[in-house]
Protein backbone atom coordinates (compact mmCIF):
# COMPACT_ATOMS: atom_id res chain seq x y z
CA UNK A 1 0.00 0.00 0.00
CA UNK A 2 1.42 3.40 -0.99
CA UNK A 3 1.94 6.04 1.72
CA UNK A 4 0.41 9.51 1.17
CA UNK A 5 3.85 10.89 0.29
CA UNK A 6 4.50 8.08 -2.19
CA UNK A 7 1.10 8.74 -3.78
CA UNK A 8 1.86 12.42 -4.20
CA UNK A 9 5.34 11.72 -5.65
CA UNK A 10 3.93 9.11 -8.04
CA UNK A 11 1.10 11.38 -9.14
CA UNK A 12 3.51 14.23 -9.85
CA UNK A 13 5.75 12.03 -12.00
CA UNK A 14 2.94 10.02 -13.57
CA UNK A 15 2.73 12.04 -16.80
CA UNK A 16 6.44 11.50 -17.45
CA UNK A 17 6.19 7.81 -16.56
CA UNK A 18 3.22 7.13 -18.84
CA UNK A 19 4.63 9.14 -21.73
CA UNK A 20 7.77 7.01 -21.73
CA UNK A 21 5.72 3.94 -22.66
CA UNK A 22 5.16 3.44 -26.38
CA UNK A 23 3.36 0.10 -26.62
CA UNK A 24 -0.41 0.22 -26.14
CA UNK A 25 -0.76 -3.03 -24.16
CA UNK A 26 2.14 -2.23 -21.84
CA UNK A 27 0.65 1.22 -21.28
CA UNK A 28 -2.80 -0.18 -20.40
CA UNK A 29 -1.19 -2.58 -17.95
CA UNK A 30 0.73 0.27 -16.27
CA UNK A 31 -2.29 2.59 -16.16
CA UNK A 32 -4.33 -0.07 -14.39
CA UNK A 33 -1.56 -1.00 -11.95
CA UNK A 34 -0.97 2.63 -10.99
CA UNK A 35 -4.69 3.44 -10.73
CA UNK A 36 -5.21 0.50 -8.36
CA UNK A 37 -2.19 1.50 -6.27
CA UNK A 38 -3.53 5.04 -5.75
CA UNK A 39 -6.78 3.86 -4.20
CA UNK A 40 -5.59 0.48 -2.91
CA UNK A 41 -8.04 -1.47 -5.05
CA UNK A 42 -8.04 -5.24 -5.37
CA UNK A 43 -9.04 -5.41 -9.03
CA UNK A 44 -9.76 -3.41 -12.14
CA UNK A 45 -10.31 -3.41 -15.88
CA UNK A 46 -9.80 -1.16 -18.87
CA UNK A 47 -12.12 -1.06 -21.87
CA UNK A 48 -11.10 0.57 -25.14
CA UNK A 49 -13.71 2.23 -27.33
CA UNK A 50 -14.02 1.00 -30.89
CA UNK A 51 -16.91 2.75 -32.58
CA UNK A 52 -20.06 2.01 -30.59
CA UNK A 53 -18.51 -0.86 -28.60
CA UNK A 54 -16.20 -1.04 -25.58
CA UNK A 55 -13.61 -3.78 -25.95
CA UNK A 56 -12.37 -5.43 -22.76
CA UNK A 57 -8.63 -4.80 -23.06
CA UNK A 58 -6.90 -5.27 -19.72
CA UNK A 59 -7.76 -6.78 -16.35
CA UNK A 60 -6.06 -7.31 -13.01
CA UNK A 61 -7.32 -9.08 -9.91
CA UNK A 62 -5.04 -9.59 -6.90
CA UNK A 63 -7.39 -12.03 -5.11
CA UNK A 64 -7.74 -14.36 -8.10
CA UNK A 65 -4.04 -13.93 -9.00
CA UNK A 66 -3.00 -14.99 -5.47
CA UNK A 67 -4.75 -18.36 -6.00
CA UNK A 68 -2.53 -19.18 -9.00
CA UNK A 69 0.97 -20.72 -8.86
CA UNK A 70 3.79 -18.12 -8.91
CA UNK A 71 4.51 -16.80 -12.41
CA UNK A 72 1.17 -17.93 -13.87
CA UNK A 73 -1.12 -15.30 -15.33
CA UNK A 74 -4.88 -14.96 -15.20
CA UNK A 75 -6.65 -15.76 -18.43
CA UNK A 76 -9.56 -13.58 -19.41
CA UNK A 77 -12.05 -13.89 -22.17
CA UNK A 78 -12.13 -10.93 -24.51
CA UNK A 79 -15.60 -9.50 -24.84
CA UNK A 80 -17.27 -6.24 -25.68
CA UNK A 81 -20.21 -4.20 -24.39
CA UNK A 82 -22.27 -1.59 -26.19
CA UNK A 83 -21.67 2.11 -25.56
CA UNK A 84 -25.16 2.65 -24.16
CA UNK A 85 -26.61 3.30 -20.70
CA UNK A 86 -27.60 -0.32 -19.91
CA UNK A 87 -24.24 -1.42 -18.44
CA UNK A 88 -22.05 0.46 -15.96
CA UNK A 89 -19.09 0.82 -18.35
CA UNK A 90 -21.44 1.57 -21.28
CA UNK A 91 -23.17 4.31 -19.28
CA UNK A 92 -19.87 6.00 -18.37
CA UNK A 93 -18.76 5.86 -22.04
CA UNK A 94 -22.09 7.11 -23.38
CA UNK A 95 -22.44 10.01 -20.92
CA UNK A 96 -18.80 10.82 -20.10
CA UNK A 97 -19.75 10.69 -16.40
CA UNK A 98 -17.85 9.07 -13.55
CA UNK A 99 -19.81 6.45 -11.57
CA UNK A 100 -18.97 5.73 -7.96
CA UNK A 101 -20.99 2.73 -6.75
CA UNK A 102 -20.47 1.68 -3.09
CA UNK A 103 -21.96 -1.81 -3.62
CA UNK A 104 -22.90 -3.13 -7.07
CA UNK A 105 -25.15 -5.81 -5.50
CA UNK A 106 -27.42 -3.21 -3.87
CA UNK A 107 -27.74 -1.03 -6.96
CA UNK A 108 -31.23 0.45 -7.16
CA UNK A 109 -33.33 -1.37 -9.83
CA UNK A 110 -34.55 1.95 -11.24
CA UNK A 111 -31.05 2.86 -12.42
CA UNK A 112 -30.68 2.63 -16.20
CA UNK A 113 -27.41 0.75 -15.81
CA UNK A 114 -27.22 -2.59 -14.05
CA UNK A 115 -24.33 -4.73 -12.83
CA UNK A 116 -23.66 -7.90 -14.80
CA UNK A 117 -22.98 -10.80 -12.41
CA UNK A 118 -21.54 -13.02 -15.14
CA UNK A 119 -17.86 -12.51 -14.22
CA UNK A 120 -18.48 -13.06 -10.48
CA UNK A 121 -20.52 -16.19 -11.17
CA UNK A 122 -17.86 -17.64 -13.48
CA UNK A 123 -14.85 -16.79 -11.29
CA UNK A 124 -16.23 -16.99 -7.74
CA UNK A 125 -15.04 -13.41 -7.16
CA UNK A 126 -17.26 -10.94 -5.27
CA UNK A 127 -17.34 -7.43 -6.70
CA UNK A 128 -18.53 -4.77 -4.24
CA UNK A 129 -17.33 -1.18 -4.61
CA UNK A 130 -16.71 0.06 -8.13
CA UNK A 131 -15.34 3.32 -9.53
CA UNK A 132 -15.83 3.77 -13.28
CA UNK A 133 -14.06 6.66 -14.99
CA UNK A 134 -14.20 7.59 -18.68
CA UNK A 135 -10.82 8.26 -20.34
CA UNK A 136 -11.48 11.57 -22.12
CA UNK A 137 -9.00 13.45 -24.34
CA UNK A 138 -8.61 17.23 -24.43
CA UNK A 139 -10.81 17.15 -27.57
CA UNK A 140 -13.58 15.54 -25.48
CA UNK A 141 -13.23 12.22 -27.24
CA UNK A 142 -13.90 9.17 -25.03
CA UNK A 143 -11.11 6.65 -25.66
CA UNK A 144 -12.20 4.08 -23.13
CA UNK A 145 -13.18 3.29 -19.57
CA UNK A 146 -11.11 2.69 -16.48
CA UNK A 147 -12.92 0.58 -13.91
CA UNK A 148 -11.45 0.07 -10.43
CA UNK A 149 -12.97 -2.56 -8.18
CA UNK A 150 -13.04 -3.22 -4.42
CA UNK A 151 -11.11 -0.46 -2.66
CA UNK A 152 -9.56 -1.77 0.56
CA UNK A 153 -8.81 -0.20 3.93
CA UNK A 154 -5.64 -0.85 5.97
CA UNK A 155 -7.03 -4.16 7.17
CA UNK A 156 -7.87 -5.27 3.63
CA UNK A 157 -11.60 -4.87 4.22
CA UNK A 158 -13.59 -3.73 1.20
CA UNK A 159 -14.62 -0.09 1.48
CA UNK A 160 -16.53 2.30 -0.80
CA UNK A 161 -14.45 4.69 -2.94
CA UNK A 162 -14.21 8.14 -1.31
CA UNK A 163 -14.64 11.59 -2.86
CA UNK A 164 -10.86 12.01 -2.62
CA UNK A 165 -10.47 8.78 -4.63
CA UNK A 166 -12.80 10.25 -7.27
CA UNK A 167 -10.75 13.45 -7.53
CA UNK A 168 -7.41 11.62 -7.71
CA UNK A 169 -8.75 9.21 -10.32
CA UNK A 170 -10.20 12.00 -12.48
CA UNK A 171 -6.81 13.70 -12.53
CA UNK A 172 -5.15 10.35 -13.20
CA UNK A 173 -7.58 9.53 -16.05
CA UNK A 174 -6.77 12.84 -17.77
CA UNK A 175 -3.09 11.97 -17.89
CA UNK A 176 -3.80 8.38 -18.89
CA UNK A 177 -5.98 9.57 -21.80
CA UNK A 178 -3.13 11.72 -23.19
CA UNK A 179 -0.70 8.78 -23.05
CA UNK A 180 -3.33 6.42 -24.46
CA UNK A 181 -4.06 8.66 -27.45
CA UNK A 182 -0.36 8.74 -28.31
CA UNK A 183 0.08 4.98 -27.87
CA UNK A 184 -2.97 4.33 -30.07
CA UNK A 185 -1.37 6.44 -32.83
CA UNK A 186 1.86 4.44 -32.53
CA UNK A 187 -0.14 1.18 -32.63
CA UNK A 188 -2.05 2.39 -35.72
CA UNK A 189 1.27 3.12 -37.45
CA UNK A 190 2.56 -0.36 -36.57
CA UNK A 191 -0.65 -1.97 -37.84
CA UNK A 192 -0.28 -0.12 -41.16
CA UNK A 193 3.23 -1.51 -41.53
CA UNK A 194 1.98 -4.99 -40.65
CA UNK A 195 -0.67 -4.63 -43.35
CA UNK A 196 2.15 -3.87 -45.79
CA UNK A 197 3.77 -7.18 -44.79
CA UNK A 198 0.39 -8.89 -45.16
CA UNK A 199 0.25 -7.83 -48.80
CA UNK A 200 3.44 -9.81 -49.34
CA UNK A 201 2.29 -12.79 -47.29
CA UNK A 202 -1.48 -12.72 -46.77
CA UNK A 203 -1.69 -16.15 -45.13
CA UNK A 204 -1.61 -15.12 -41.47
CA UNK A 205 0.70 -12.24 -40.68
CA UNK A 206 -1.78 -10.46 -38.30
CA UNK A 207 -2.34 -13.27 -35.76
CA UNK A 208 1.26 -14.44 -36.28
CA UNK A 209 2.82 -11.12 -35.18
CA UNK A 210 0.59 -10.96 -32.11
CA UNK A 211 1.60 -14.48 -31.18
CA UNK A 212 5.29 -13.72 -31.69
CA UNK A 213 4.93 -10.56 -29.55
CA UNK A 214 3.25 -12.49 -26.70
CA UNK A 215 5.79 -15.33 -26.83
CA UNK A 216 8.71 -12.88 -26.96
CA UNK A 217 7.49 -11.11 -23.84
CA UNK A 218 6.89 -14.33 -21.93
CA UNK A 219 10.37 -15.66 -22.79
CA UNK A 220 12.03 -12.32 -22.01
CA UNK A 221 10.27 -11.94 -18.64
CA UNK A 222 11.33 -15.42 -17.48
CA UNK A 223 14.87 -14.84 -18.78
CA UNK A 224 15.15 -11.41 -17.11
CA UNK A 225 13.65 -12.42 -13.74
CA UNK A 226 15.96 -15.42 -13.47
CA UNK A 227 18.89 -13.06 -13.98
CA UNK A 228 17.54 -10.56 -11.41
CA UNK A 229 17.42 -7.73 -13.90
CA UNK A 230 15.91 -4.62 -12.20
CA UNK A 231 12.14 -4.20 -12.72
CA UNK A 232 12.66 -0.75 -14.28
CA UNK A 233 14.96 -2.24 -16.93
CA UNK A 234 12.51 -5.11 -17.54
CA UNK A 235 9.63 -2.65 -18.05
CA UNK A 236 11.63 -0.57 -20.52
CA UNK A 237 12.70 -3.59 -22.54
CA UNK A 238 9.20 -5.13 -22.58
CA UNK A 239 7.88 -1.94 -24.13
CA UNK A 240 10.43 -1.89 -26.97
CA UNK A 241 10.39 -5.67 -27.38
CA UNK A 242 6.63 -5.87 -27.89
CA UNK A 243 6.66 -3.32 -30.68
CA UNK A 244 9.79 -4.80 -32.26
CA UNK A 245 8.21 -8.26 -32.20
CA UNK A 246 5.03 -6.94 -33.80
CA UNK A 247 7.09 -5.33 -36.55
CA UNK A 248 9.34 -8.29 -37.24
CA UNK A 249 7.29 -9.49 -40.23
CA UNK A 250 7.87 -6.21 -42.08
CA UNK A 251 11.18 -7.84 -43.10
CA UNK A 252 9.14 -10.05 -45.44
CA UNK A 253 9.22 -7.22 -48.00
CA UNK A 254 12.86 -8.26 -48.55
CA UNK A 255 12.08 -12.00 -48.94
CA UNK A 256 11.83 -13.41 -52.44
CA UNK A 257 8.35 -14.37 -53.69
CA UNK A 258 9.78 -17.72 -54.78
CA UNK A 259 10.33 -18.57 -51.12
CA UNK A 260 7.53 -16.57 -49.50
CA UNK A 261 4.81 -17.95 -51.73
CA UNK A 262 6.18 -21.42 -52.28
CA UNK A 263 3.21 -23.78 -51.82
CA UNK A 264 5.33 -26.77 -50.83
CA UNK A 265 7.74 -27.26 -47.93
CA UNK A 266 10.88 -25.10 -47.94
CA UNK A 267 14.31 -26.69 -48.41
CA UNK A 268 16.78 -26.12 -45.56
CA UNK A 269 18.54 -23.38 -47.62
CA UNK A 270 15.22 -21.67 -48.35
CA UNK A 271 14.27 -21.93 -44.67
CA UNK A 272 17.53 -20.14 -43.73
CA UNK A 273 16.60 -17.31 -46.15
CA UNK A 274 13.05 -17.21 -44.74
CA UNK A 275 14.37 -16.82 -41.18
CA UNK A 276 16.19 -13.66 -42.27
CA UNK A 277 12.88 -11.72 -42.30
CA UNK A 278 13.21 -11.34 -38.53
CA UNK A 279 16.60 -9.65 -38.99
CA UNK A 280 15.67 -7.53 -42.02
CA UNK A 281 12.93 -5.77 -40.01
CA UNK A 282 15.04 -4.50 -37.04
CA UNK A 283 17.63 -3.33 -39.58
CA UNK A 284 14.93 -1.03 -40.98
CA UNK A 285 14.05 0.30 -37.50
CA UNK A 286 17.27 1.16 -35.64
CA UNK A 287 15.33 1.98 -32.42
CA UNK A 288 14.41 -1.71 -32.21
CA UNK A 289 17.88 -2.99 -33.03
CA UNK A 290 19.10 -5.77 -30.71
CA UNK A 291 21.89 -3.36 -29.67
CA UNK A 292 19.28 -1.29 -27.80
CA UNK A 293 18.23 -4.38 -25.83
CA UNK A 294 20.76 -4.12 -23.00
CA UNK A 295 22.15 -7.25 -21.46
CA UNK A 296 24.00 -7.49 -18.16
CA UNK A 297 27.72 -8.34 -18.69
CA UNK A 298 27.34 -11.81 -17.12
CA UNK A 299 24.47 -12.98 -19.33
CA UNK A 300 25.02 -15.36 -22.26
Residues that bind Fe ion (CB under 5 A): 249
Torsion of Cα atoms, 11 then 14 then 15 then 16, to 10°: 130
User: In the bound complex, what is the minimum distance in angstroms from residue 175's beta carbon to Fe ion?
Assistant: 35
User: In the bound complex, what is the minimum distance in angstroms from residue 121's beta carbon to Fe ion?
Assistant: 40
Q: Which is nearer to Fe ion, 274 or 293 (CB)?
A: 274
Q: Which is nearer to Fe ion, 42 or 249 (CB)?
A: 249
Are the beta carbons of 209 and 245 closer than 8 angstroms? yes
Of 145, 175, 162, 133, the closest CA to residue 19 belongs to 175
Q: Compute CA distances 188 → 46, 184, 214, 243, 300, whole Å.
A: 19, 6, 18, 12, 35
User: In the bound complex, what is the minimum distance in angstroms from residue 143's beta carbon to Fe ion?
Assistant: 30
User: In the bound complex, what is the minimum distance in angstroms from residue 201's beta carbon to Fe ion?
Assistant: 8
Q: Which is nearer to Fe ion, 23 or 249 (CB)?
A: 249
Of 94, 110, 1, the closest CA to residue 51 belongs to 94
Q: Which is nearer to Fe ion, 49 or 252 (CB)?
A: 252
> How far apart, in whole angstroms, are the C-alpha atoms of residue 43 and residue 60?
5
Q: Which is nearer to Fe ion, 136 or 254 (CB)?
A: 254
Q: Which is nearer to Fe ion, 22 or 248 (CB)?
A: 248
User: In the bound complex, what is the minimum distance in angstroms from residue 208's beta carbon to Fe ion?
Assistant: 6
User: In the bound complex, what is the minimum distance in angstroms from residue 278's beta carbon to Fe ion?
Assistant: 6
User: Exposure of 281 by Cβ count < 10 A (0-12 exposed, 13-18 middle, 19+ buried)?
Assistant: buried
Of 32, 58, 44, the closest CA to residue 125 belongs to 44
Residue in the shown chain whose Cβ atom is closest to Fe ion: 249
Amino acid sequence: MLSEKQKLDTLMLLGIELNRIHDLDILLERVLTRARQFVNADAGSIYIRQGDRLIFAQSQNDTLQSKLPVGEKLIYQTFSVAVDPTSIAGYAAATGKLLNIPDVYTLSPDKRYQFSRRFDQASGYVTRSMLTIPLITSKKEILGILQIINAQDHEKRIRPFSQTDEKVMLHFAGMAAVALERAQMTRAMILRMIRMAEMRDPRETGPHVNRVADFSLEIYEHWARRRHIPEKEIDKTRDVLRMAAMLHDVGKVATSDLILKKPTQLSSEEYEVMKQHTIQAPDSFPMFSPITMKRPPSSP
